[in-house]
Amino acid sequence: MSKTIHYLKDYAAPAYRILKTDLHFDILEPQTIVKSSLTVQPERAGEPLVLDGSAKLLSVKVNGRVVDYVLEDEKLTIAGVPSENFTLEVETEILPAENKSLMGLYASGGNLFTQCEPEGFRKITFYIDRPDVMSKFTTTIVADKKRYPVLLSNGNKIDGGEFSDGRHWVKWEDPFAKPSYLFALVAGDLAVTEDYFTTMSGRKVKIEFYTTETDKPKVGFAVESLKNAMKWDEIRFGLEYDLDIFMVVAVGDFNMGAMENKGLNIFNTKFVLANSRTATDTDFEGIESVVGHEYFHNWTGNRVTCRDWFQLSLKEGLTVFRDQEFSGDRASRVVRRIDNVRMLRLFQFPEDAGPTAHPVRPASYEEMNNFYTMTVYEKGAEVVRMYHTLLGEEGFQKGMKLYFQRHDGQAVTCDDFRAAMADANGINLDQFALWYSQAGTPVLDAQGRLKDGAFELTIKQTIPATPDMADKQPMMIPVKTGLLNEKGEAVEFEYQGKRVKEAVLVLTEAEQTFVLGGVNEPVIPSLLRDFSAPITLNYPYSEQELATLLAADENEFARWEAAQTLYHRAINANRQALAEGRPLPEHKALMDALALVVSGDFDPAFRAILLQMPSETDVWAEEENIDPIQVHQAREALLNAVAVKFLPQWRELNRQAAEQENQADAAVRYEYSPELAGWRTLRNACRAFILRADAAHIEHVAENYEAMAQNMTHEWDILSAINSNESEIRDRLLTKFADKFADDALVMDKYFALIASSRRKDTLQQVQTALSHPKFSIENPNKARSLLISFSRNIPHFHAEDGSGYRFVADKVMEIDRFNPQVAARLVQAFNICNKLEANRKAVMTKELQRIHAQEGLSKDVGEIVGKILNEK
């Protein structure tokens, strides 16, 4: 397999820029003819003009004259172009209905859509397809009016008309220069939902959401989420929308969650369509977050974009931080923060510790699609959050204002963002740059002691070796810290000349001692409050100290972290007991702490999240020679013990939560709201424990299913709780669920996810049967994710000792790779754990990886990941 590696160090500014881009799409059947007229400005006259493209090339002209060219390896090279501005005309032919990669222009449900980030535009026409080439676009679309009544593109609609043959045309103009990855086009028979938003300067912006006619009633929450996001961005960041119209189009076949194309966002239906019968509270929260994320890109991504794809986190890390802050202001901030950290630890920490580890700003890549990762997005957001932690809200906003003042309308780098933060606040952030260039999760080992009326906290940092770099430099790490006494009361201390209850300790050396003065009693340090840095922190807490933190810390994140540590220790104690054939421990410290959780005065959403144990992945995160089944069994045993221990309390809390929901007005009782969602989360956690502790309760669930499943949140959680039950009741209820929602594609995704995540003995057989279900299509990314990626996260079945899970997933990776390498690359990442497994499973998984790697015609997307796992260079 030939490899082309792209390196950040090789970046060079483009030899040519494109000032204006005029596109003309003639949508025929089956082909679409694309004509582009480009105003090209030479930056380094005399160099050949090189364009990217893979469409069928029909003609090339310079200043109206046909020219010679060389077309090789998807590069169109034209020598001897004029040294002054000139016009380049390119004509191509594409076949959208045959495009199963869902990149470029493709067909879905009889309509046409585009996805151009990162390098899809080259599938449409030949262009300098890189983010630092920014151009002003006009787009004309011609199509049959009956089949394609709606014709959309970026910017504002400026003209249109009809032809006598039943065809019509529309012309769009985007007044803002943008790179080609932000181009969008939609053509089809779609229904529109309209609304308006009045900006802070008094401008009236039209809002349009396009869906199928059937789905039109489900867009209301997404519309309100957009208006809330627009208002929030004005209040928090002073940023106002800049076009006359904001359009969102929902499509069922989409590789990503959504795409922020200027003025014409294209969304996966999963993040637009919702009502309480078909969407869970989590779905509603996801819609609000993603709608906010894509809107916020208008400034952090579109108005200021990336110089090159190595800088992807410049827009994505910053915008994820902004959407997290938006979501935190819309609901429980601590619960949202915990959700973000759980996701980071579940997916990004293993990525940082695995064969595909890379910095927030990668130094090289083979296939850019592979770097839309948790590291670039979620760890990138934590890097932005550290700026906020170090500078405070006022300092952070000063940095943001300077960033826009300097770079509006430009394609820039992560270093430019860091410089704006540093310069606006008059501080040196040179060392902070290491967060962009060093991969791996830093590990902090802390020790504390009382000495001479002060608490001395010594912290040692270690940044583990990763495939790209063995030796790492010490990083700048903010550690938000407080102190509690043995009664759980906050203790004031002196730090940097001030008497405080909390301070941000900034670690800059390999080992550093912080002196917190004025402390004359034994204290418990509350460390890494609010998860102030994306690191792992070890401190030798006693179980009593953890119980005190859980019971009394003023910082709710720290309370949750204490609970997670107690769970983690208990699961590991179970593992040791199982390995030695001993009875399981009683876990007195944990059970005493949980007694407080179930009986204390807690916000329902926070109480529910305190009851969630670390995942298996969390437990083995820093281990080698992993036996996944052993970890799974130890965790299951602890869940069962907690369920039995507190069964009366689960029944009472379940009753209280149901009562709170029933007291709400009947019209909104089962609709989404943060308050009711909190009570439902608690109720469903209790229900799951009850079903674990009381085997007969499943019969009560079956008898009262319709009354209990009043919205999708309850229905999903009931089915999830019984999903691994071997009885026929589970089969009957799942079949009933599938029959009821057979015509709702998004709910059927839930059905396939349930099939794939069950721990029942026949799960692999049921997954294989589901592949031929009339509502399943392996070509649809949502369906593939719901069934296949869900199965790859099913610990007992994916890691089955006979290797059947590995073989099945490997087969599906190779099948999907033939038509959609992006989805195949997501699925193959389930094998990233290979080199950390115990010897037998490692050998079986390695054999499957070798089989994938030998596949003829393997894509760069999959080949790059598999090669790294197999340690091939």
- What are the catalytic residues? 294
Helix (H) or strand (E) holding 194: strand 191-198
Q: Tokens 């209280």 appear where?
A: 656
Q: How is residue 262 written in tokens? A: 């200027």
Contact 574, 585 (CB under 8 A): yes
Contact 348, 375 (CB under 8 A): yes
Contact 55, 125 (CB under 8 A): yes
Contact 848, 806 (CB under 8 A): yes
Residue 803: is it exposed, middle or buried by C-beta count within 10 angstroms (0-12/13-18/19+)?
middle
β-pairing, 6-7 vs 443-451, is unpaired
Contact 377, 340 (CB under 8 A): no
Q: Tokens 């290979």 appear where?
A: 834
Contact 727, 760 (CB under 8 A): no
770 vs 345: CA distance, rounded Å:
31
94 vs 124: CA distance, rounded Å:
7
- CA distances to 198, 201, 205, 233, 451 from 238, in Å: 14, 11, 17, 6, 48
Contact 429, 422 (CB under 8 A): yes
**Three-class SS state of 802:** coil
Q: How is residue 532 written in tokens? A: 């102030």
The contacts found for 749-752 with CB under 8 angstroms, 24 or more apart, are: 749/270, 749/782, 749/783, 749/785, 749/786, 750/712, 750/716, 750/786, 752/776, 752/783, 752/786, 752/787, 752/790
86, 3, 16, 7: which is closest to 52 by C-alpha? 16
What is the C-alpha end-to-end distance of the chain, expressed in Å?
Answer: 11
